[in-house]
Amino acid sequence: MEFTYRAYRDLLSLLREQGYAFRNYHNYEAVCRCVILRHDIDNSLSQAVKLAELEADAGVCSTYFVLLRTDFYNVAAKAGQEALRRIQALGHEIGLHFDEAFYGPALKPDEIIQNIIKESSLLAALLETAVTTVSMHRPSRSSLEADYHIPGIVNSYGKTFFQDFKYLSDSRRRWREPAEEIIRSGEYERLHILTHAFWYHEEEKDISQTVGDFIRLANQERYRQMAENITDIESILGKGEFYCESGHLSATLFSLDGVF
């Protein structure tokens, strides 16, 4: 399966053709043959919005899990708020993507649960709506085996969603199993599918291109942010030039003509 928007649309169509009802973590029990779609936003809110718009156009709702503890985006910033509210307006749910590694390796299960509750409350305050689902970011083996029961919050890593569902994931831009073949087989009544919007584009890109483009785009984004916070930035640094210091403090010039 390609990592393109066209291929993802085809995946949604295939699920429909095979009779799967699109459900979430709260209403799946109402039907026997269903699929839960989950998206972990590890890197890019803007790409998550694109996938959310694609799904809405296809009449599909899913769950998008966002990190509070990340250097890649800020859910409290204006752009972050606008992205999350756009995803919600399209009919999708926002859940918490919880990074236990932020708290160190020695957390006890009850401490993990308390921190999930704390972060969910913080995210709920920003969204002005309840946060009732959580997914784990790079979970430890102990968390995978723990089956945490969290008051008022559905744990997407709970045993129900791995034992009673067939779980498929595109982590690190690689399907561990042939997703399309499994869907066509009709062998499983319930599917739990994790995809990462970060990997999907209009045209196929390999993992190196995807990561490289994301890093280069950060230069453009930082320039835009500076332009919003400093008067007449072009008198300091033109749009076509970005400088970054190397380890020995010399400057490297990047030509970005035509980018802006």
User: Using one digit for the tens of pLDDT, what is the confidence trace for 129-180?
Assistant: 999 999 999 888 888 888 999 999 999 999 999 999 999 999 999 999 999 9
Q: How far apart are CA 134 and CA 71, in angstroms?
A: 19
Domain residue ranges in the chain? 5-199, 207-255
Residue type, 154: V
Q: How far apart are CA 73 and CA 75, in angstroms?
A: 6
SS3 35: strand
Low-confidence ranges of the chain (pLDDT < 50): 243-260
The closest of 126, 132, 165 to 150, measured between CA atoms, is: 132
The label of the residue with tokens 């008198």 reads 235
In Å, how far are 29, 88, 96, 194, 224 from 23, measured between CA atoms? 9, 16, 18, 14, 39
CB atoms < 10 A from the CB of 20, how many? 22
Strand positions, DSSP E, the chain: 21-23, 34-41, 63-67, 93-98, 133-136, 154-155, 166-169, 190-195, 241-245, 251-255
CA-CA distance, 153 to 109, in Å (whole number)? 15
Query: DSSP state, 238?
Result: -
- Looking at domain 5-199, its CATH class is alpha beta
Beta strands in 49-186 (DSSP E): 63-67, 93-98, 133-136, 154-155, 166-169
* pTM: predicted TM-score of the whole model, two decimal places: 0.87
Query: Of 15, 59, 27, 58, which Cα lies nearest the Cα of 189?
Result: 15
Measured CA to CA, the distance from residue 76 to residue 70 in angstroms comes to: 12
**pLDDT of res. 242:** 53
Nearest by Cα to 21 from 10, 35, 5? 35
93: nearest Cα among 61, 125, 122, 69 = 61
Q: What local confidence, expressed as pLDDT, does residue 246 receive? A: 32
